Chains A and B, each alone.
Chain A
Amino acid sequence: MTGRRLAGGGGPVIPNFGKPSSCLKHNGWFCTDWLHAHWGDILQPALVQHVLLTLLAVGIGFGIAFLLALLGFRFRLLNAPLGAFTDVLYMLPSIALFEILLPITGITWTTILIPLVAYTLFVLYRNTVAGLRAVPGEVLESARGMGLTRRQTFLRVELPLAVPSIMAGLRIATVSTISIATIAAFLVADGLGKPIFDALEQPDIFKTELLAGGVLVVLLALVADALLSLLQRALTPWTRVR
């Protein structure tokens, strides 16, 4: 069907020894024997790689976005250009970015991390700046009047009050990254995108593998969202009252 460029496409995914179950013979959606057989060598490693990719992308993205947000918050004039910058990055299709970077950084995780990081910037930057800006004026005034220095006001008042907005951004960025990272497998055969692409490659789409990959991605996204939600609640006890 396609001449996918990447190396390491893996061997035949449908075991061609022994007796394939009737489920596999008819390309069913949920062939448990295949799932059992290949959890260890296909699905689990892919899941682990996917988690790793996501952690790296969101971690690095958050770091960069946070620094940019500090700049955009502190120097109002910078906010519009920085916002536009992250916006443009977000508008570039992932596949195009992956391909454009390939000649420069090769078939490495760097190539796929750069676009993934770039996508997180849009949401993370925006939400962080908005969160910082949303601190009520009278809170800032009383802080100043009480004699908190600029730095103390930022660390003890503005930043904590921005956490809800920042966490909301992190949740969105994480879920999006988990989803988009599947495309990366087109270039680098890692992550949950690999079994999905493998399944799509087959002349007759391999349903069990496709479903398995898809379900794992969605489950991972839901779990990540739930964990971050718990983290948010732990960090912001004052939002829980009333």
Chain B
Amino acid sequence: MPTEAAELVFDEATKVYPGRAGAAVDRLSLAVPAGEICVLVGPSGGGKTTALKLVNRLIPLTSGDIRIDGTSILRHDLTELRRSIGYVIQQVGLFPHMTVEGNIGTVPRLLGWPKRRTRERVGELLELVGLDPEQDRRRFPAELSGGQRQRVGLARALAANPALMLMDEPFGAIDPIVRTRLQDEFLRLQQELRKTVVFVTHDVDEAIKVGDRIAILREGGRLAQYDTPQRILEQPVDDFVADFVGRDRALKALALRTLGELRLAPVGNVDGLPRLGAEASLRDALALLVAERCDVLLVVGADGEPLGVVRREDLLA
């Protein structure tokens, strides 16, 4: 398996449990380009976790196929397949009896990496996920906070440099403040590593924030829409998607764009105008105007220098 990102294709993938009416995953077909994050989102019972587990064959396919870089997962040796895919789950599942180093080094050890290389890799990864490479490697999971454990889980999944990552509600069990931080760090990491990621969440806002593409699954495991966050928000394919995304989808769409993208009007009199950085989202800008009861705000650059002015109509255009 290649060690950089892989392309993942679901081809009419179906999972039916014997004795249960209806499929858990119903003829799911979508393609995740290499290096992109595809978020599977939907109501509970929508089959998103099932679809995820079909990929590393924790759940066997009933029919259809799933291909990684063109090769069907059924053609791979099961253990090799799993060792080449990074898998992160909500409760993390760190091995309580191993240190952080032991946990992260599990797959490299299985693959027969020399000790020195494993040790270096562990240090590398700890730094990458924002932990202390010297202190934290010797700790046991019981000594870590929830956020720290999730970071170790992520590092563990990245250890053997897999081409594909499967993440099942990885930030679900974390409190909201830490969750936001982890999401941001994960996105930063992804910019660096550019892995192919399939990410399951029930939180629409997380899906929009994290995903390059979003696949909304409805009950019965059928794909409702597979598109970029922008298009899903602006052009939901039916009422189900529109409802799922939320009545405030227009506002959510605003959150996807930043002030820096807009054409700004030249700066005139700036006294008393509320100001916001160019990296702020249009949604935050609108929220600021509403709060200040203004129609205009000043956009500033990284050093505080005025870049231009934005009017309320410009935001809503």
Contacts and interface: CB of A to CB of B under 8 A. Distances in A.
Whether chain B is bound by chain A comes out as yes
Given A238-B142, A242-B143, A147 B81 contact: yes
A147 B79 contact: yes
Interface string A133-176: 00010111111111111001000010011000000000000000
B273 to A, nearest CB: 52
Interface string B73-114: 000001111111101011111111110000000110010000
A157 B110 CA distance: 13
Interface string B25-59: 00000000000000000000000000000001010
Interface string A200-242: 0000000000000000000000000000000000001110011
A238 B97 contact: yes
Nearest to B79: A147
Contacts of A145: 56, 58, 82, 85, 87, 89, 166
B140 interface: yes
Contacts of A140: 93
Contacts of A136: 91, 93, 96
B95 A141 contact: no
Contacts of A143: 93, 95
B3 to A, nearest CB: 16
Contacts of B92: 138, 142
A152 B96 CA distance: 16
B142 A147 contact: no
Interface residues of B, number: 32
Contacts of A238: 96-98, 140-142
Contacts of A141: 58, 89, 93
B299 to A, nearest CB: 46
Contacts of A237: 140
Interface string B108-143: 001000000000000000000000000000011111
Contact of A241 (B79, B80, B85, B143): B143
Given A139-B94, A141-B58, A141-B93, A146 B143 contact: no
Given A141-B58, A160-B97, A146 B87 contact: yes
Interface in A50-99: none
B82 A147 contact: yes
A147 B164 CA distance: 14
A136 B92 CA distance: 11
A144 B140 contact: no
Nearest to A148: B110
Contacts of A148: 79, 106, 110
A140 B96 CA distance: 11
Contacts of B97: 157, 160-161, 236, 238
Contact of B83 (A138, A147, A157, A242): A147
A232 to B, nearest CB: 13
Contacts of A138: 89-93
B142 A242 contact: yes
A119 B225 CA distance: 64
Which one of A147, A157, A160, A242 has the highest number of Cβ atoms from chain B below 10 Å of its Cβ? A147
Nearest to B107: A146
B110 A152 contact: yes
Nearest to B90: A138
Contacts of A142: 87, 89, 92-94, 153
Contacts of B166: 145
B82 A146 contact: yes
Contacts of B107: 146-147
A29 B262 CA distance: 99
B159 to A, nearest CB: 9
A98 B260 CA distance: 90
B56 A241 contact: no
B96 A146 contact: no
B110 A147 contact: yes
B98 to A, nearest CB: 8
A145 B81 CA distance: 10
Nearest to B81: A147
B140 A139 contact: no
Nearest to B77: A147
Interface string A34-56: 00000000000000000000000
10 contacts: A138-B93, A139-B96, A143-B95, A144-B82, A145-B82, A145-B87, A147-B83, A147-B107, A157-B97, A160-B97
Q: Which 4 pairs from chain A and chain B are nearest by CB? A: A142-B93, A147-B82, A147-B83, A145-B87
Given A142-B92, A146-B83, 18 more contacts: A136-B91, A138-B91, A138-B92, A139-B95, A139-B96, A142-B89, A142-B94, A145-B85, A145-B87, A146-B87, A146-B106, A146-B107, A146-B110, A147-B78, A147-B79, A147-B84, A238-B97, A238-B140
